[in-house]
Amino acid sequence: MDLILFLTFAIIAVVCALSMALQRHPVASALSLIGVMVSLAVLYVLLGAEFIAAAQLVVYSGAIMVLFIFVIMLLNAGAEKMTHKAGLAEFLGIPLLLLFLAFSTWVITNATPAGKMIKFGNFTGGGPREVGWELFTRYVLPFEVTSILILIAIAGAVRLANRELD
Amino acid sequence: MDYLLVSTIKMLIIAPALLATLAYVVWVERKVIAHVQLRVGPYFVGPHGLLQPIADAVKLLTKEDFIPSGVNHFFYWLAPWLGLMFAVTGIAVIPFGPVVEIFGIKTNLGLADLNIGLLWILGLAGMGVYGIALAGWSSNNKYALLGGLRSSAQMISYELPMALALAAPLLISNSLNLREVVDTQAGYAFGFVPNWNLFTGFQIVGFVVYMICGFAETNRIPFDLPEAENELVAGFHSEYSSMKFAAFFMAEYCNMVIVCSVATALYLGGWHPIVPQAISPLVPAVFHWVLAGALFYHGMHPARPADKRTFPVFGAILGALGFLFVAPGIGPIVTPLFWFLGKVAFLLFFFIWVRATLPRFRYDQLMKIAWLFLFPVALLNLLATALGVTLFGK
């Protein structure tokens, strides 16, 4: 059952990712990205990380992508046209992509210790309580630094918007 | 396998019940608004217009499904069903009642028992905006596009105070699981005040903020700017007809039901009665008998010749239903259901009542309320609740 679900949503995620890159229309690309994020959320649930899955749904597909779609609709961006391709990309594009795939596969297989397979259902500490506890004890410094970073970004955005208004 | 079978049976009960509720909420809304405005509302299809929802469904199903030129076909087709899907899946985590024993099988009344139940609802509420935004964009109509844009801006703005307001009762209950949240609201303070978050949790401010945001999230009056008739024809669904149009309406009413159910579970104690536990099954029974008596009285009255057959029949059904609550075995199952559904029904009535009463906001007022009033109030409420929980415990 776990394997069937994993394969289904992994395939959906990959197909949506390809569709995001290949679609001509910005709205279609954005929707494909939402498909990727939702299937990733399902994969998180399968791994036992329920809170991360819910956060993925609420934050990425619920809030950030709505803003993306909002901006695309506001600008009323139409379908993009294919211009002449860059010469380098035409010859080296696909070989470089394959090379990159091979390299990342090699890195991942070497980075994980041999004989230690991760099974679905092995991991259970993915509830909100456990995640919150870890965030505010072991990872409290990165957590606070990230919030300050976001605060700086907000202040910058307000400053830029104010200058436009003046 | 047992779990799968029980879940399937529950799904087969809850899904048709939800759809029937959606259809009849429309009837109740038309009736209530009509009586507020001194009209009678639907009257001709069935007794007191009771079969009107079925007539509406037949009309919508058989109507021509017109697709205007220049629309983006795939998204035009996808949008209403996407909106409806995200609306109805929310019902899965609503706890309708406690764990009960039916035919020797112990089960909880409700579909899924997620320990991230509330986040699931918030996630779906966030996704629900896609149906409306895509409908507005793909319709190839500037009014529809404006409606879609307004709706996405409105939903993003009101999600923030809504989530902040919802966080306060979670602090008190120390859980994200809706069933556990309801469980912590059992019992009474001083022997008679129900231990609901609204009363003993001092969440009255949070409740008001949540309900206001609920109106905005479901695009109801006074926040129905996305479909403001005098400015935007019908807003995001201007170009939709037939079943696709019905899908938008079902999504809106389903969102209403879910908002009211979440409010019931988080603030109003879920299935816990407002009266002392000892007379808890008697209240719904007496309520049904009084209703049955009223129907009999009006059915026999010579001033109502049209109702002389239907009212006594409905009265007899209601009177029989009243006996279910005091019957051994069935009583403990239906009494919590009555309290939960009764509270939801009251909140739904409140939604309709507001629609019959208030005019629409202006767009700048709408944004000001969200960011300058609701957001700070919800934040202060959350801080005060956190302080209270730290000082006095749960």
Asked if A127's CB is within 8 angstroms of B116's CB, the reply is yes
Smallest CA–CA distance from B114 into chain A, residue: A50
What is the CATH number for A15? 1.20.120.1200
pLDDT at position A166 is 64
Taking chain B, what is the end-to-end CA distance rounded to the nearest angstrom? 38
Calculate what percentage of chain B has a pLDDT beyond 70: 99
The answer to whether residue A86 is domain-embedded is: no
Interface pTM (ipTM) of the complex?
A: 0.74
| Of A36-50, A106-120, B164-178, B190-204, the least confident | A106-120
- Report yes or no on A110 lying in a domain: no
* pLDDT > 60? residue B394: no
Does the model's pTM come out above 0.90?
A: no
Residues of B within 8 A of A55 (CB-CB) are 119
Would you list the DSSP string of B297-326?
Answer: HHHH-TT-GGGTTHHHHHHHHHHHHHHHHH
- Alpha-carbon gap, residue A107 to A96, rounded angstroms: 16
d(CA A55, CA A41): 9
Claim to verify: residue A3 and residue A72 sit in the same structural domain: yes
The percentage of chain A sitting over the pLDDT mark of 70, rounded to a whole number, equals 89
Q: Which two tokens stand for residue A59?
A: 């934050």
Q: Number of structural domains, chain A?
A: 2
Q: Does B331 have pLDDT greater than 80? A: no
Using alpha carbons, select from B207, B206, B184, B208 the residue that is nearest to residue B196.
Answer: B184
Q: With beta carbons under 8 A apart, name residues in chain B contacting A76.
A: 145
pLDDT at B110: 77
Q: What pLDDT score does A117 carry?
A: 66
Mean pLDDT of B68-93: 85
Q: Is residue A108 part of a domain?
A: no
**Which phi and psi (to 5°) does residue B98 adopt?**
-75, -175
Planar angle of CA A57, A63, A66, nearest 5 degrees: 110
Provide the residue range defining the domain that includes A151: 127-166
Give which of B72, B130, B140, B164 to mutate to test A binding, by max A Cβ within 10 Å: B130
* 8 A C-beta contact, residue A49 and residue B115: no
The mean predicted confidence, pLDDT, of chain B is 84
Q: Rounded mean pLDDT of A28-56?
A: 86
Distance CA B282, CA B300 (A): 27
**What mean pLDDT comes out for the span A66-71?**
83
User: Which of A13-22, B103-112, B327-336 tops mean pLDDT?
Assistant: A13-22
- Residue A46: is its pLDDT beyond 90? no
What is the predicted pLDDT for the residue at A29? Answer: 86
> Which chain B residues contact residue A66 at CB under 8 A?
126, 129-130, 133, 152, 155-156
Q: How many CA atoms lie within 13 A of B106 on its CB side?
A: 2
Dihedrals phi, psi of B102, to nearest 5 degrees: -120, 125
Residue with tokens 């404006």: B146
Q: Which of B114, B123, B133 lies closest to A62 in CB terms?
A: B123
The shortest CB-CB distance from A58 to any of B114, B126, B153 is to B126
Interface residues of B toward A, Cβ cutoff 8 Å, are 72, 75, 114-116, 119-120, 122-127, 129-130, 133-134, 136-137, 145, 148-149, 152-153, 155-156, 159, 176
B166-187 pLDDT, tens digit each: 888 888 888 888 888 888 887 7
- Chain A residues close to B125, C-beta within 8 Å: 62
3-state helix, strand, coil in chain B (%, to 5): 70, 5, 25
Is residue A23 within 8 A of residue A29, CB to CB? The reply is yes
Residue B183 or residue B228, greater confidence = B183
The answer on pLDDT for A151 being more than 90 is yes
Question: How far off is chain B from A141, nearest CA to CA, in Å?
Answer: 22
Cα radius of gyration (chain B): 22
In terms of domains, do A131 and A72 share one? no
pLDDT band at residue B14 under the 50/70/90 scheme: confident
The amino acid occupying position B246 is: A
**Average pLDDT, rounded, for chain A:** 83
Inside any domain, residue A95: no
The residue of chain A with its CA nearest to that of B158 is A63
Residue B260 confidence (pLDDT) = 92
In chain B, residues with a C-beta closer than 8 Å to the C-beta of A132 are none
Q: Report pLDDT digits (tens) over B105-157.
A: 777 777 777 778 888 888 888 888 888 888 888 887 888 888 888 888 888 88
**Averaged over B24-28, what is the pLDDT?**
90
Q: Which residue in B116, B127, B129 is closest to A51 by CB distance?
A: B116
Res. B1 pLDDT band, cuts 50 70 90: low
Mean pLDDT value of segment B56-85 = 84
Set of chain B residues whose Cβ sits within 8 Å of the Cβ of A57: 119-120, 123-124, 126-127
Say if residue A116's pLDDT is above 70: no
Q: Which residues of B touch A136 (CB under 8 A)?
A: none
Summarised one tens digit per residue, pLDDT across range B285-306 is: 888 888 888 888 888 888 877 7
Closest CA to B257 of B29, B12, B57, B79: B29
